[in-house]
Amino acid sequence: MKKIAFLLGLTVFIACQQNNDPINQTVPYEDTIILLGKADKNGFSQAPFNTWFQPNYETYQPNDSVIMQMKPLLKGVTIKAFMGTWCSDSQRETPHFYKILNAANFNLEHLTLIAVNDEKTTPQEFEKGLNITNVPTFIFYKNGQELNRIVEYPMESLEQDMLKILEKVPYKHAYAE
């Protein structure tokens, strides 16, 4: 009976481990490491990511008037963000994005951040079916429907592009046809 209970417990433990995607996992990349898979802001506090994240976060000054317009529009919005810690555009825009979300009091539980490799993929295929061609890509959803996305760099500014998307006014990202 003890063996059965032990095996049952072990099976449940293994099943739970397989369903929990690890966060902020690093893998070797060229002569450094990258984040790969699900990540969050805490992942950027470790080296070598902290050398670019913290300075870019601290020095960015969001447009407060745009943030105030954006705040009520963020209600019910979820965001999927794809970035590469190896990518200079991601290193610039991701800290700015976090600063904007923090200024807007956005609940970060509604943000899913995925770090991809240089082929824009993850072992878990989080990018599957989402047409991630360039990073960073910030995809905005409301009621499960994609509103729009910012791809690689904003057309005006991150705040202004986000406001256009949230207001549902015509907006084309850098690679839209």
In the chain, % of residues over pLDDT 90: 88
What is the spatial distance between Cα 114 and Cα 46, in angstroms, rounded to a whole number? 17
CA Rg value for the chain: 18
Instruction: For the chain, give the mean pLDDT.
Output: 91
Q: Which of 95, 10, 104, 14 is nearest to 49 (CA)?
A: 95
pLDDT at residue 156 in the model: 97
Give the pLDDT confidence of 25-71 residue by residue, as tens digits.
Answer: 999 999 999 999 999 999 999 999 999 999 999 999 999 999 999 99
Q: Does residue 94 surpass a pLDDT of 60?
A: yes
Q: Does residue 11 surpass a pLDDT of 50?
A: no
If pLDDT is split at 50, 70 and 90, which confidence band does 177 have? Answer: confident
What predicted TM-score, i.e. pTM, was given to this entire model? 0.88
The first and second tokens of residue 141, run together, are 């959803």
If pLDDT is split at 50, 70 and 90, which confidence band does 20 have? Answer: low
Give the pLDDT confidence of 129-142 residue by residue, as tens digits.
Answer: 999 999 999 999 99
Give the pLDDT confidence of 106-158 residue by residue, as tens digits.
Answer: 999 999 999 999 999 999 999 999 999 999 999 999 999 999 999 999 999 99
More confident residue, 5 or 168: 168
pLDDT at residue 160 in the model: 98
Q: Does residue 172 surpass a pLDDT of 90?
A: yes
- Count of other CB atoms within 10 angstroms of residue 18: 8
pLDDT at residue 21 in the model: 76
pLDDT at residue 1 in the model: 54
**In sequence order, what are the residues at sequence separation of 6 or more whose Cβ sits closer than 8 angstroms to the Cβ of residue 147?**
77, 140, 141, 165, 166, 168
- Residue 74 CB burial class (10 angstroms; 0-12, 13-18, ≥19): buried
